[in-house]
Structure 1
Amino acid sequence: MQINVNTDNTITKHQGLDEHVDTVLRASIGRFSEQVTRVDVHLSDENKEKKADGGNHCMLEARLAGVAPIVVHDHANDLHQAINNASGKLARALDSTIGRLHDKHRHTAVPVVSVDGDIDPTADKHLTDN
């Protein structure tokens, strides 16, 4: 799983910030590392000039093969808190999306073939992992 950290001109990007993002993401979504190919992280402070609270913004965009990107956002008073909150949201979104994909593949219809090799259109059999 590749993690790309991007910042706007209001955030000073440094090694410690990259390491924090990497640590938090791997802790929260590491179990999905086989399915997630890349996570793009976008950080900004929308209120830096105003000295107001709550302007720290974190957007996470996770890429999975064959699925539209999964995007989550969070705003917080502290940039680290925004990163932590967004990573939790991403973990829940990935869990839901991957679970739905797994269920979809598990419950695909299978045609029933009669003894003479004809497909029986009246039969309704489904694959399950039971």
Structure 2
Amino acid sequence: MKIQINTDKNIEGHERLATYFSEELEKGLARFEEKITRIEVHFGDENGEKFSLNDKKCVIEVRVANLQPLTVTDHSDTLEKAFSGALAKAKKSLTTTFEKQKSF
């Protein structure tokens, strides 16, 4: 499972940030790791320097073998909260997708 972390120009993409979020993805999606080929995470700050509620965005795109990519988005006031929300949505979507496959 390959993980790629991307940030927009308003967020500094530190190595520590990438390491932390990669580890969280690996732990959070461990039960699906054999089916996932790649994960791309995109972080953004929609207002740049200006303060606004829920202006941090996290988009997680999960590529699953033999299926269309699954994309989820979450907005929050911090990157960590946006990431947690998007990760929860990704888990739920993957669970639903694989449960539907079992029923066929």
- Alignment-derived partner of residue 42 in structure 1: 42
Residue type at the aligned position of 1:35: K
- Alignment-derived partner of residue 20 in structure 2: 20
Distance apart, 1:53 and its partner CA: 2.5
Task: Give 5+ residue unaligned stretches, structure 2.
Answer: none
- Alignment-derived partner of residue 56 in structure 1: 56
Question: Runs of at least 4 residues of structure 1 off by over 3 A?
Answer: none
Instruction: Please tell me the root mean square deviation across aligned C-alpha atoms, in Å.
Output: 1.0
Q: Say whether the 8 Å CA contact 1:10–1:48 is kept in structure 2.
A: yes
Distance 2:36 2:65 in 1: 7
- Alignment-derived partner of residue 71 in structure 1: 71
Q: Alignment length, in residue pairs?
A: 104
Q: For each residue in 1:29-75, what CA deviation from the matched residue of structure 2 results, as whole angstroms up to 9, or x when unmatched?
A: 11100001101101100022322221000000000111110000000
- Alignment-derived partner of residue 82 in structure 1: 82
TM-score (norm 2): 0.94
Distance 2:36 2:19 in 1: 19
Task: Give 5+ residue unaligned stretches, structure 1.
Answer: 105-130
- Alignment-derived partner of residue 103 in structure 1: 103
Higher RCO by CA contacts (8 Å cutoff, separation 6 or greater):
2
Distance 2:50 2:98 in 1: 40
Q: Say whether the 8 Å CA contact 1:56–1:78 is kept in structure 2.
A: yes
TM-score (norm 1): 0.76
Structure having the higher helix fraction is: 2
Larger Cα-atom Rg: 1
Distance 1:75 1:32 in 2: 24
- Identity across aligned pairs (percent)? 34
Structure having the higher strand fraction is: 1
